[in-house]
Structure 1
């Protein structure tokens, strides 16, 4: 990334406009339409699309830096855009490995399509390895999907929903089917997103009532359960890295706000700025020590995905591990920043108060702490004996 300049893709003035709207969308529980419009006009939704298909052809490592930067301005906007970038990132991972099944995602993103991520289902802790959504094959090679997806970010605006379901009727069943459905009358979006934080993502529940994925949008049919298929690695790697990037960006913003506050507040007891208080200095140092570890780790792991490095069976422990470290670090850093800022951060209008609520969402994304620890334990100790 020696010649990579993040301000080319996310200029300071654009970020400040996005930052200025974040509190309004949090307060009013609305989707950041203006953010999406400006990011689309800037070509941001196509950052991972190769040049010959209409994008700048950035690497996953470069996209990680940009998502950290965007999250520092508006976490909910960054998290929503993340879900679109996951699919363009998966397309890149597959193409880099000689599989061009998601070319339509790349050309679509460059043309203004917005791709949503329809994988999460209530109570489905199998995530990529199973689905409660029925994928019914049709004679023309298309599939009809019936089921319910939760946490569907970009709900008001997506044009294509990337999803999975379980085919239980084909001769080779069961098969996990990965496909894309357009927004039609068979897709119902509930207006049920009223959460503690990350309100601007508008990650509403999506009902599928026989939604049709055309044959040319059915991209993978694989056996359920743990599977070495590249689409599983592609989704897991891009999702975990970009998710970790968003929460790392939140941590950086909280650290910056703590430093700014310490420079402004004055102790009535000593008459000195808080930046001269030993306890405050220790607390900010702790925040910086925790934060500083994550950007290099993200860069290294994302670069390994870009370079097609071979970590073998350790890949999933590395990926789930970086997500876990990023979200726990971000939560700790925001907690410390709130201590530095004091009571003002308890008000809903406070940016730190919003970050405090936004950062809580990290615990709900896969891999959760239990899954991450189980994956890492297996990588180091081997599987549990039966």
Structure 2
């Protein structure tokens, strides 16, 4: 059973090319997805939502990305924050309730974590979190890749608090757009994923009162609910979204080679053994990556304890999905010929969109470092 109807996805797909060409935000997509209840689909039923599981959201994100990758990637960030809310509440941390209740009240959540040049990403911030003396914080620093920047109502962000005697801590909080204290820069002019409109956000004292502080934790990888909640849903939902790009590329190529004819062989390319091998190899890579993502999502739903392997395995699934999808798009382009080099060809857009997966955490360097520690242990003196 699927949540998003085929007709809705067809309409979203019909607008994807124009959104990319105009470098604009897909407002119509958002309106239709909101009306369909998709922004509250991951909210538990006891809070009034549809109560879909992580596995089900992954499946829907893959389908949405097949229709419009940038729309899916933007909405992905909202689902991640809702997932964080779910995890906090399940862990006995009541600050997560505001996320779930906010989503039910129409809030759109954005993800304000990444900073320029900061390869610690979630595990340490360069943004200042200054305490207000009443349990709240004001935030000062630059966040990049802030998807949904034209429309978010709440921004989940974090910064570094150096004020205490207990050493530096990372402070995670929810900011209200209506309170101000920030500037959104109009700087999203990228190769692909243009519809996410992930403009940079300069935090200029944006304030979160005490009740909107989610957690204050020591920097670095940990099992703290706010860290694990963000990391786990970010990686698995991102992976599911990239799967949609690879799947769509194979669909487009399969349609094309059934009609594209070889003058040399006087037959359609779908009967050429080399072309068949290319698309089959792409489908095999996608099949393996999809299985990896699905299993992780099921384990998140079941609350399975993978111990110290959770973080490296989540990173591995994201990388498997993004790399498999990149491979699938490349094989699709090779199979369909020079027409795919045109900007008007969907495969050209899919190629530009899938490249974003190279830069989103966890990247290849971080992944291999993590797995080297799994296999060999830390570097010795």
Find 1:302's aligned residue among 297, 300, 303.
297
Aligned to 2:101: 107
Find 2:145's aligned residue among 147, 151, 156.
151
Aligned to 1:127: 121
Find 1:234's aligned residue among 229, 238, 246.
229
1:264 Cα deviation after fit = 1.5
Find 2:38's aligned residue among 34, 44, 66.
44
Find 2:368's aligned residue among 373, 378, 386.
373
The residue correspondences of 1:332-371 to structure 2 (distance < 5 A) are 332-371=327-366
In structure 1, what is the Cα distance between the partners aligned to 2:232 and 2:69?
Answer: 20
Q: Deviations over 1:299-355 (max 9, x none)?
A: 111111111111101111100111111111111110000011111111111110000
Contact in 2 for aligned 1:166/1:177 (Cα 8 Å): yes
Unaligned residue ranges in structure 1 (runs of 5+): none
Aligned to 1:24: 18
Q: Which region of structure 1 is more displaced relative to structure 2, 79-88 or 90-99? A: 90-99
Q: Deviations over 1:75-103 (max 9, x none)?
A: 00000001111000111223333333211
Answer yes or no: is 1:138 the counterpart of 2:138: no
SS of corresponding position for 1:148: strand
Answer yes or no: is 1:221 the counterpart of 2:216: yes
Q: Deviations over 1:227-248 (max 9, x none)?
A: 2212111111100000001111
1:251 Cα deviation after fit = 0.5
Aligned to 1:14: 8
Instruction: Give me the TM-score of the superposition, normalised by structure 1.
Output: 0.96
Aligned length: 380
In structure 1, what is the Cα distance between the partners aligned to 2:255 and 2:73?
Answer: 25
Unaligned residue ranges in structure 2 (runs of 5+): none
Aligned to 1:270: 265
Find 1:319's aligned residue among 314, 317, 339.
314
Aligned to 1:88: 82
In structure 2, what is the Cα distance between the partners aligned to 1:381 and 1:175?
Answer: 30
In structure 1, what is the Cα distance between the partners aligned to 2:273 and 2:175?
Answer: 57
Contact in 1 for aligned 2:339/2:345 (Cα 8 Å): yes
SS of corresponding position for 1:101: helix
Aligned to 1:55: 49
Detail structure 1 runs of 4+ shifted over 4 Å in the superposition: none
Q: Deviations over 1:194-249 (max 9, x none)?
A: 00000000000000100001211001001112322121111111000000011111
In structure 2, what is the Cα distance between the partners aligned to 1:366 and 1:283?
Answer: 28
The residue correspondences of 1:135-214 to structure 2 (distance < 5 A) are 135-183=129-177, 184-214=179-209
Instruction: Give me the TM-score of the superposition, normalised by structure 2.
Output: 0.98
RMSD: 1.0
SS of corresponding position for 1:37: helix
Contact in 1 for aligned 2:170/2:218 (Cα 8 Å): yes
SS of corresponding position for 2:303: coil
